[in-house]
Copies of this chain bind each other. A is one copy, B any other.
Amino acid sequence: VICTVLGNGGFGTAFALLSHRAGHRVRLWGHDPEYTAELARTRQNPRYLPGVELPREVQVGADAKPALARAEVVVLAIPTQHLRSVLTAVQAQVPRGVPVLSLAKGLEQGTALRPSEVAALATGGRNPVLALSGPSHAEEVARDLPTAVVLAGSDDWHAARLQDQFATPRFRIYRHRDLLGVEIAGALKNVIALAAGIAEGLGFGDNSKAALLSRGIVEIARYGRARGAEPETFFGLAGVGDLAVTAFSVHGRNRAFGVRIGRGETLAQILSSERRVAEGVWTSRVVRDQARSLGIEMPICEAVCGVLHEGLPAPVGVQRLMERDPKSEELG
């Protein structure tokens, strides 16, 4: 099929490579004409996926019209906070009725909407929207290392088709019914990974990180249940699987961001030097505000948000978490 990937960051580029391997005609679109021209010319993505070569068959361009013409699948590899503006700008070119597959893991600031909801709004409800999530670092997907993900969507027929179209022996796709839970898991694991990174930056070890992970997944599940998701979604690939890799892997961007915060940099300092910020930075605030208004107890999210956005010193924030002292382990 003709597959158009919108967004030429790390995962967009990796997904373009995957689609190419799966036998599709692939177009990789980026919003930045200059950088995209560099990709097209060098067949490399030095900023987001260094060392990986783009096959010639993958068309690369910054012009949405040819990129989306006759597309049969549209993949959204755009950070959550930019999804609405990018998609609104190109939506007229998206062929009506073709499935739109979101790869974003976040919640939109201001609206608290999930990426699939933003996509559905931006395309005017003319396209079925699905989401792919799970432990899938772009660096490894690009190199065809074995990966397993979940694909969720309200539309079973399209979910099954996309599964058939994009699964390869080294990229397993499991269908999942709980789109809401899958997207919540993907968004919130970034916040817990930030906490894990902050603890690491403060000099804490893997025991602390594992404790944060354990309590983090319970916190995510609590939020998810309050929002109507299925609790067991959080104990699968999209939940603990993705959280573990985000919190522990060298590739974890949110973890790495947290480490810098833990070592004493401020959000403002990092923002002034970095092109892109870890998704969890914004998600933490969206979730914290929602959790407060809905009365959901989310101590890790509170602490991360306090440290990132309200000047709470990192050692104090982490100390608060460690001092929370229920006498027995309660889940859910």
Q: How far is the CB of A225 from chain B (nearest CB, A)?
A: 13
Which residues does chain B contribute within 8 Å of A235, judged by CB atoms?
217-218, 235, 240, 331
Interface residue from B143, B175, B251 paired with A329 (Cβ < 8 Å)? B175
Report Cα–Cα, A265/B318, bound state, in Å. 42
Tell me if A232 is interfacial: C-beta within 8 Å of chain B: yes
Question: Which of the four size classes fits the interface of chain A?
Answer: 35 or more
Residues of A109-156 at the interface with B, using a CB-CB cut-off of 8 Å, are: 134-137, 139-141, 143, 145-148, 150
Residues B247 and A204 in contact, CB atoms below 8 Å apart: no
Query: Which of A27-35, A60-68, A207-215, A274-282 is the contact stretch?
Result: A207-215
Residues B207 and A137 in contact, CB atoms below 8 Å apart: yes
Residues B214 and A240 in contact, CB atoms below 8 Å apart: yes
Which residues does chain B contribute within 8 Å of A175, judged by CB atoms?
327-329
Report Cα–Cα, A305/B249, bound state, in Å. 27
Tell me if A306 is interfacial: C-beta within 8 Å of chain B: no
Residues B137 and A206 in contact, CB atoms below 8 Å apart: yes
Tell me if A98 is interfacial: C-beta within 8 Å of chain B: no
Report Cα–Cα, A323/B172, bound state, in Å. 9
Residues B146 and A207 in contact, CB atoms below 8 Å apart: yes
Q: A170, A214, A240, A327: which has the most chain B beta carbons within 10 Å? A: A214
